[in-house]
Each structure stands twice: as C-alpha cells, then as structure tokens.
Chains A and B, each alone.
Chain A
Amino acid sequence: MLEATGLMVFYENMLALNNISIKCEKNQIVGVFGANSAGKSTLMYTLSGIMQDIRKKEKMAGGERITIHGDIFFNGKSITDTRPSRIARMGVILCPERRRIFKESTVLENLKIGGYLASRSQAKETMEYVFKIFPALKELKKRTGGFLSGGEQQMLAIGRALMAQPKILLLDEPLLGLSPLMQLTLVKATKEIRDDMGLTIIVTEQYARPVIPIVDYAFILENGAAVLEGTREELMNNPDVRAAYFGV
C-alpha cells in the first residue's frame, strides 16, 4: 500500500535517513522502532510530504539545505514530490510527534478542523466514532485544547487525524511521555481503529514493548538505517532485539 525505496535524507551534510526501504500492506499495523535521533520522525515527515514542504521553505529562506533521494509509492503511484496537502487528500495522514493539537481551540473545534477534507456526513460519522473509542473526549468537548492533559491531547490528536479520513495513518510516537495506563488505552484503541475502520497504520515508538503486541510487522532503525525487520514473532525471538528494545 505504502512503499518507500532507497530513501535518503540529508540535513546539510548530516545523514538522517540512510537508504531505508520500508513497505506496508493494507490493513497491517507496522511498527518502526528506534532510539532518539534514529530517524523515526524524519521518516514520518518524508512519507507524508511534510519534509518536502520544509525543504521548499528552507530553500526559499536560504536556510538549511535538505536533500531527499529515493522514491515513495502510495498504491503504486509515486508521491515523492507531491504536495503534502495532495498527499493528505489521497489518504496519508500524519499524527505528529508531540501531538501539535490546536491549543487555542476547543476539542470540538480541533476535530472540526481535522475534518477539513471530510464531507459533512463523513465528518459527523467519524466524530461519533471518535467519541465512541475515546469517551473521555466527549466529556471535554468544550474544553480548550491547551488545558488537556498529555493523554487527552494524544487522544484528540489521533481523533483529529481520523477526521481527515485517512486510508493510512502515520502515528509518530503516540505514547511519548504518557503513563503506562494511558499507554495501554491508546494501544488498545489503535488496534480497535484498525479493525473497525480497515485502516493501515504505521506507528513509531522508542520503546517497543507496549506496542509490539499489536504490530504485524516491524522495522528497527539505528542511526538512520533500517538494521532489522521482520514479523512480530521473528523480532520477539531475536535475542539482540529482546535485550535492546524490550528490556527482557
């Protein structure tokens, strides 16, 4: 469904992504694990076209030089140089690291803004669904985004991304800084969303343990390169991975 081949991203001379090829099939949950600065967010930004937009703006302002090599295909069509708004319209929606919810707007408005690409009936239907899987948000409808707790903000960010009618959802570190209980809730919700809406999901995380039970396939990044990949079982049985990412 989404496939990247030979992806390389440079910030000036620094190599952020080194010849990464990843692939995910329809209806899968794919994990991307790696430490800080392994290139997870760069990968997510590049897949959703945001990196290309940053490159354009940096170039215009004469700032940092960003170079992108490789190809990205969505349903067989190249989206390597497609504008991010077009990519989003095709159904690739990024739910970014650190959530980036609209802090001055209420929960309801955040969701409505997320529904920019949705038709009126789609928006209504999806909003009901979001309130179904995250009942906590329903209580907080009128609350300003900035006053939500981290976990609530993350639920809102996922809900907002769902409002944009994704076919493939990119979740960038959804569990960052959350309590174990909240992590569990979100992981369960992620699986539920996949099952209910028939989505494809790519999820990145530093620490694989909370997410590994729901992923079908996973990649492990180190210093910008994909050092290991495999199905859940294959990774779980690899002693290096167990030591480094599961803390067993």
Chain B
Amino acid sequence: MDILIYGTINSVVLALYALGFALVYGISRLPNFAHGALYVLSGFITWSLLNILGLPYLPAIILTMIITAVIGALIYQFVLIRIRGMEISEIIASYAIGLAIIESLRYFGFRGMTYTLPAFVEGSIDIGDIPVDYHRLIIVGIGLVVVLLLWLFTHYTKIGLALRGMAQDERAALMLGIDSDMMAIVAMAFGSMLAALAAILLLPLGNIVVESGYNVLILAIAVCIVGGLGSWVGSIFAAFLIGFAQILTAVYLGSHYQMVVALLAIIITLIVKPSGLFGQQKELEERV
C-alpha cells in the first residue's frame, strides 16, 4: 500500500520534472540542458519574492512563473536561436547557460540548508494506515491538472495546434504561416514555466539546494529518453515506470540506489530500444 501511494507521488514528481523538458524538445527539437538550472533558479526567485519583498504566497508563485518564462524566452531569443538545428551546439550552449545560472547562484551565497519554501497546507492525512501530508496530495492533484490542461491546450487552442504542427513538420508549418522562431520562443517560455511550476510545487518538500538542479536535469532526461524523446504520452508513462522502480528500489535495496535506477533506465533503453518506448525514429522517413 505504501509502495502504491509513494510510487504514485514519486511518479508525478518525475513527470513534473520532465514535462518542461519534453515540451521544449518535442516542439523545437531543442534539448534544453538549462532545464535543471531554471528549476533551481525559480525556487530562489520564489524565496526572494517571499522573504525579501514580502509578497504573499500566491502572487509570488504567479510572478515567479512569469519571470521564469521570460528568462527562458530571453535565453532562446539571444543565444539559442543562433545555433538552431545544430544539436551538439544546442546541448553545449544550453548546458553552459545552466552551469552559469547554477554556479552564480552558488557564488552569490544561495547555498546550504537555510532556504526553504513553506508547504501550501500543513498537516497530513492517513490513507489506510499510511500518513501522507496534504502537500504531496496537492502535488499529485496539480500534476494531473497540468497534464490535462496541457492536453487541452495542444488539442483545442490555435497556438497549441500550431505548436503540434511545428513539432511534426516545421517546414510545412512555415508554409501555413506559422512563424517557427516565434513558436520556438513560445515553447521555450512554456517549458521554463513548467520548470518553475515543478520547482514551486516540489521544493517545499525539502531545502532549496543548488545541486538539485543537476539531479532534476538527469531525471528529466532519463524520463524523456525512456519514454521516447519528443513523446509526451511516453514521458508520462516513463515517469510512472521509473517512479515506481525508484520506490521499489528504495524499499528493497536502500534509498541511495534511487539515482542509479534512473541512470540504469537510460542505459537499458539505449541498448534495447534507442528510440524509447513511444518514440519514433523519423530519420529514415525523412531521407526518402
């Protein structure tokens, strides 16, 4: 029973880590290695808004999401747009930006155990005989709502549909008047916003530590690779797969093996099915 509950929670957490990364990659084929850094950064932005400017919680959250989205858009507009389509350069540049963000946060003293965000609602409830705090339930709830909203957004709004068109065939989208640079910026802003949302939801569970930026990035990449790069359904499925695998390992082998599970999942996927569970290998088709 506790495996089921905590497995679900952990899976939703992983899905939240990965959604932003999957969204950006799925739409503009940009592996955003600054994802983890944006996650940590938005944690500190929220903390600053709460404790330095003294804003109430909800406005601070909304403001953080907007600020992070703008930062993501700026990163794209001023750096990544120049190396569009060159995968290695994209990885190096975005990773460099991520490193710069994380290390400058460390440099300016945002480190150690002193920075925490308050939980949305204190207290816990017993499900069966397992205590689960309210905040984790909220995470699961909001996680599901986000997935649902994202699905509605990409199926029923003009911009969402345009984003999906661009994800499938950028040049065909261009012929229909969909500005691919503009859409890539929108995608990056959305991806960053999702990173911020994940941070705001998940950081109250522990301390804000700069190093978690790297962990988040690795977990996000693991989920996306296992699920198939660019496939959102696959990512969510993979999040549950890895999420439960992690909890099972924690219960039966010890919690310090949790990270190994994610990395092992990457390796096994790349050996057995390199395109991931739901990924499609498109290159063959494009060559014809």
| Chain A interfacial positions (CB closer than 8 Å to B) | 48, 50, 53, 57, 60-61, 83-85, 88-89, 93-96, 100-105, 109, 112-117, 160-161, 163-164
Query: Which residue from A84, A109, A112, A115 sits with its C-beta under 8 Å from B175?
Result: A84
Inter-chain contact A105/B164, CB cutoff 8 Å: yes
* A164 to B176 Cα, complex, angstroms: 6
List chain B residues, Cβ under 8 A from A88.
174-177
List chain B residues, Cβ under 8 A from A113.
161-162, 164-165, 173, 176, 178
Known: A61-B85, A113-B161. A93 touches B175 (CB 8 A): yes
| Chain B interfacial positions (CB closer than 8 Å to A) | 82-86, 155, 158, 161-162, 164-165, 168-169, 171-180, 182
Interchain Cβ contacts under 8 Å between A and B, 24 examples: A48-B175, A50-B174, A60-B82, A60-B84, A61-B85, A83-B179, A84-B174, A85-B174, A85-B177, A85-B180, A88-B176, A93-B176, A94-B175, A96-B171, A103-B168, A105-B165, A105-B168, A113-B165, A113-B176, A116-B158, A116-B165, A117-B177, A163-B176, A164-B176
Inter-chain contact B174/A53, CB cutoff 8 Å: yes
Query: Which residue from A83, A103, A105, A116 sits with its C-beta under 8 Å from B176?
Result: A116
A66: min CB distance to chain B, Å: 15
List chain B residues, Cβ under 8 A from A57.
84-85
Q: With A60-B84, A105-B165 given, can you name 10 additional A-B contacts, CB distance below 8 Å?
A: A57-B85, A61-B85, A85-B178, A93-B176, A101-B172, A109-B161, A113-B176, A116-B161, A116-B165, A164-B177
B163: min CB distance to chain A, Å: 9
* A116 to B180 Cα, complex, angstroms: 13
Inter-chain contact A96/B178, CB cutoff 8 Å: no
Known: A105-B165, A109-B161, A113-B164. A100 touches B84 (CB 8 A): no
Inter-chain contact A114/B85, CB cutoff 8 Å: no
Q: Is the interface of B mostly helix, strand, loop or mixed?
A: helix
List chain A residues, Cβ under 8 A from B173.
113
In the complex formed, the residue of A with least CB distance to B177 is A88
* A58 to B260 Cα, complex, angstroms: 41
List chain B residues, Cβ under 8 A from A96.
171-172, 175
Known: A57-B85, A96-B172. A85 touches B164 (CB 8 A): no
A218: min CB distance to chain B, Å: 23
Q: Closest 3 CB pairs between A and B?
A: A88-B177, A113-B165, A85-B179
Inter-chain contact A114/B176, CB cutoff 8 Å: yes
List chain A residues, Cβ under 8 A from B161.
109, 112-113, 116
List chain B residues, Cβ under 8 A from A83.
179
List chain B residues, Cβ under 8 A from A115.
158
* A60 to B181 Cα, complex, angstroms: 14
List chain B residues, Cβ under 8 A from A163.
176
* A122 to B169 Cα, complex, angstroms: 24
B3: min CB distance to chain A, Å: 35
* A93 to B86 Cα, complex, angstroms: 28
In the complex formed, the residue of A with least CB distance to B175 is A94
* A102 to B175 Cα, complex, angstroms: 13
List chain B residues, Cβ under 8 A from A61.
85-86
Inter-chain contact B84/A102, CB cutoff 8 Å: no
In the complex formed, the residue of A with least CB distance to B158 is A116
Known: A114-B176, A116-B176. A102 touches B171 (CB 8 A): no
* A114 to B166 Cα, complex, angstroms: 11
Known: A102-B164, A109-B161. A117 touches B85 (CB 8 A): no
List chain B residues, Cβ under 8 A from A117.
176-177
A166: min CB distance to chain B, Å: 10
* A83 to B180 Cα, complex, angstroms: 11
Inter-chain contact B162/A60, CB cutoff 8 Å: no
